[in-house]
Amino acid sequence: MTLKDQQLRSDLAVDGMSCAACANQIERQLSKLDGVTGSTVNFATGQATVIHDPAITNDVFQAAIQGLGYTVVEQGETDEAETRREADLRRRVIVAIVLAAPTALLSMVAPLQFSGWEWIVAAMSTPVVLWCGWSFHRTAVLNLRHGATTMDTLVSLGSISAWLWSAVVLVASLEGGHIYFETGAVIVTLILLGKYFELRAKRRSGDAIRALADLGARTARLEDGSDIELDELAVGMRFLVRPGEKIATDGRVVEGASAIDMSMVTGEPVPVEVTIGDEVIGATINTNGSLTVEATRVGSDTALAQIVRLVDQAQGSKAEVQGLADRVSAIFVPLAIATGIATLIVWFLTGHEANEAFTAAVAVLIIACPCALGLATPLGILVGSGRGAQLGVIIKGGEVLEDTRSVDIAILDKTGTVTEGRMELVDVIAPNANSSELLRFAASLEARSEHPIAHAISTASTSHDLVVDFQNRPGFGVSGFINGIEVRVGRRSMFDQISDELEAEAAEVERKGSTAVFVGRNQQAEAVLVVSDQVKATSRTAVAALHDLGLSVMLLTGDNRRTAESVAKLVGVDEVIAEVLPDGKVAEVKRLQEAGHRVAMVGDGINDAPALAQADLGIAIGTGTDVAIEASDLTVVAGDLRAVADAIALARRTLATIKGNLFWAFAYNAAAIPLAALGVLNPMIAAGAMGLSSLFVVSNSLRLRRFAGYRRIS
């Protein structure tokens, strides 16, 4: 293959996009460039990806994007750019509210009016319409340059038309003319609020990547005791890992033995025993013994880096959910503008005065202006998310709501989602011995160990005995002398004698998915300690609620099949897929999506983050990791799995409310525009009707406050 035949991929961070139409325009412009074979622009992540000939540099792409009126920022500066944009929008919202509120009061409450109040209203509304609403005017102009119109076009036209006409009436003292400064100011203020809510939700899309990147170790300690930065670590170097430390990078154990907390990758609470020759993964935690590890993968090749890429790719490839208002506006906005122009022309041609013609045309634009439309989505989201917060459900923006409509499969992670996510001692089986005494002995020994299973055993007894000559045998168990008698706790291999009866009991324990720990004296096993990750009391009810919502339920876990099937049987799920790692979970989600299913993924661990991002609807259990929470669309703060059913039901109810708001807002416009064009509705009545439309949207949205959910929380 020659250099010319090779294709490169370039990623650029684009700032200044305000809607999906902006992304589409940039994508089309990039695709037209010579040597470009493909381009995609993701509005949600602000990323443009270009597949191109190596001869083309990023300067060409940057020039094309800037030519459309957008800005290309350095990849490392995207957070700062978004922070600046949010701060600027917040300033404009504050100024708009401060000025628009008295403007509306003076214009609509006659007792507050005084001589010359019109000039005060004009002065207060001008910065709102022109400065606060600048982004709408800029976007409208950019769209018009490329033959496109959006809701921003109507916001700009309606607010500018109301302000201009009012200024003409005020300055020229037109007889019979009315001023509508408050209309333009209120329109800009309400739509700005909606944009601000949207931007805050959109900014969360990159948080999962940042949270994942923070998991890794910052430095590595080499064999000679010197510390080096992680990016200086190379394949083949050996580094030390002390108890409680994170493993610096992927590698192979060359000295020592320990138990590694692998929950970052597997999601399971039981540490994995490792010894010489075993592979370990960077950012996992060494729980007890000291290790010497030889680096086998560094930088972008590590397992953590691959998980980061999985989340990034899943977020970047997720289809944009075009807003309902934007979809309808593709037809409605040009039609409304054409109607306003036609009204002006017809009234002139039929011999009417200029004042009458402009009044009718402005009435059309005002009645068409999306005041209620601007409230329909953000207010529905605001009330729905507020009620969700009371129920322990966090909805991350309106774009996730449509994803709940056709979800037909719910995938549940096991540990921490269906189960408690922590090991507990649930039983002591001692057929021919004193179970209380053996438990006390075991707890006394395990109190000296840092292993999570040891913690579950040591806390199960309120009293401990004095232990002499304690020994920790990594991967096998512990031993020591109590009252002059040797006591051992651990695996089968720790004992020379195990009765058939006790062996059968241990096998049954393991068949049911629990962990069997042997305890005994003088090398003879006398009891089995049953340690288990308990199923949450509400999990079965939660699965039934998901079935009630019309969803099939699947259990997807990194744990062994025997344990997974045991849990699945207890809670009533429809299908089990076990022993899968993060990439396997993503692959399973993709497989279901390619089969035509809409997938909801419920999880709580870092290992769930890629699947949460890939799923059509990602739901994180709030008791889990920050990475899982940030990668999800919905977050359930409580550990109660029934709240997942509440989350889906609330999201669906919120979407239905928003659709109702949009329908009636558009219906109002469709009915009122002809009346305004015929002169039946003058601008003042149009503004009043617009207020009534907004009042309906508010009252309809407030009904969401009565949503109770499956837990029946008032």
Name the nearest CA neighbour of 458 among 468, 467, 446: 446
Token reading at 700: 């309809």
Please name the residue that has the structure tokens 């005041």. Answer: 371
Weakest-pLDDT range from 37-41, 130-134, 571-575, 678-682:
678-682
pLDDT at 334: 80
Mean residue pLDDT across the chain:
81
Helix (H) / strand (E) element for 618: namely strand 617-621
pLDDT score for 38: 85
Q: Which two tokens stand for residue 676?
A: 């305004």
Residues 228, 220: contact at Cβ < 8 Å? yes
Kindly state the DSSP code that residue 416 receives in the 8-state scheme.
I
**What is the average per-residue pLDDT within 45-51?**
80
Which amino acid is present at 514? S
Q: Residue 636, Cα to own-chain centre: how many angstroms? A: 12
Residue 435 CB neighbour total at 10 angstroms: 17
Q: What is the pLDDT of residue 203?
A: 57
Query: Which of 84-98, 428-442, 479-493, 615-629 has the lowest average pLDDT?
Result: 615-629
Measuring CA to CA, how many Å separate 291 from each of 227, 252, 279? 16, 10, 12
Taking 80 as the threshold, does the pLDDT of residue 444 lie above it?
yes
Nearest Cα residue to 697 out of 378, 336, 387: 378
Q: H/E/C letters for each residue in 262-313?
A: CHHHHCCCCCEEECCCCEECCCCEECCCCEEEEEEECHHHCHHHHHHHHHHH
DSSP state of 248: -
3-state secondary structure of 429: strand
More confident residue, 359 or 660: 660
- Measured distance CA(478)–CA(465) in Å, rounded: 15
> Looking at per-residue confidence, does 284 or 668 come out higher?
284
pLDDT of residue 142: 76
Range 539-572 burial, b when 16+ CB lie within 10 A, else e:
bbbbbebbbebebebbbbbbbeeebbebbbebbe
* pLDDT > 90: percent of the chain: 24
pLDDT band at 606, cuts 50/70/90?
A: low
Nearest in space to 366 (alpha carbons), one of 165, 195, 161 = 161
Which of 353-367, 386-400, 549-563, 692-706 has maximum average pLDDT?
549-563
Residue pair 504/516 in contact by the 8 Å Cβ criterion: no
Q: With beta carbons less than 8 A apart as the criterion, state whether 208 and 311 touch.
A: yes
Pick from 427, 482, 423: nearest CA to 454: 423
How far apart CA 361 and CA 371 sit, in angstroms, is 18
User: How many CB atoms neighbour CB 74 within 10 A?
Assistant: 10
pLDDT digits (tens, 9 = 90+) for 223-275: 888 999 888 899 999 999 998 899 999 999 999 988 888 766 554 556 778 88
Give CA 35 to chain center in angstroms: 36
8 A C-beta contact, residue 299 and residue 235: no
Q: How far is the C-alpha of 328 from the C-alpha of 147, rounded, in Å?
A: 17
Give the residue-averaged pLDDT of 303-327: 53
258 membership: H or E segment, kind and range: strand 258-261
Contact 165, 360 (CB under 8 A): no
- pLDDT of res. 664: 81
| Residue 178 DSSP one-character state | -
Q: How many CA atoms lie within 13 A of 419 on its CB side?
A: 26
Most confident of 66-70, 134-138, 346-350, 654-658: 346-350
Exposed, middle or buried: residue 518 (CB in 10 Å: 0-12, 13-18, 19+)? buried
pLDDT reading at 305 higher than 80: no
- Lowest-pLDDT choice from 145-149, 284-288, 624-628: 624-628
218 Cβ contact partners less than 8 Å away, ≥ 6 residues apart: 229, 230
The catalytic residue positions are: 413
* DSSP 8-state secondary structure symbol assigned to residue 368: H
Q: CA-to-CA distance for 389 and 497, rounded, in angstroms?
A: 57
∠ CA(534), CA(535), CA(539), 5° rounding?
160
8 Å CB contact between 564 and 596: no
pLDDT at 440: 94
HSE at residue 141, side-chain half, CA atoms within 13 A, is 10
Q: Phi and psi dihedrals of 688, rounded to 5?
A: -65, -40
pLDDT one-digit tens code per residue, 54-94: 888 888 888 888 877 788 887 656 667 777 888 888 999 99
* 543/620: higher pLDDT: 543
Q: Report which of residues 588 and 74 the model is more confident about.
A: 588
In contact, 220 and 239? CB cutoff 8 Å: yes
The SS3 call for residue 40 is strand
Predicted local distance difference test score (pLDDT) of residue 202: 55
How do residues 335-360 score in pLDDT, each as one tens digit?
878 888 899 899 989 988 877 887 78
What predicted TM-score, i.e. pTM, was given to this entire model? 0.58
Q: Which residues contact 339 (CB under 8 A, 6 or more apart)?
A: 364, 368, 673, 677
Q: What is the mean pLDDT of residues 39-66?
A: 82
**What are 188-228's pLDDT values in tens digits?**
887 787 677 666 655 554 454 556 566 778 889 998 889 99
* Range in 124-128, 224-228, 541-545 the model is least confident about: 224-228
Residue 658 falls in which region: left (phi positive, over 0), alpha (psi -120 to 50) or beta: alpha
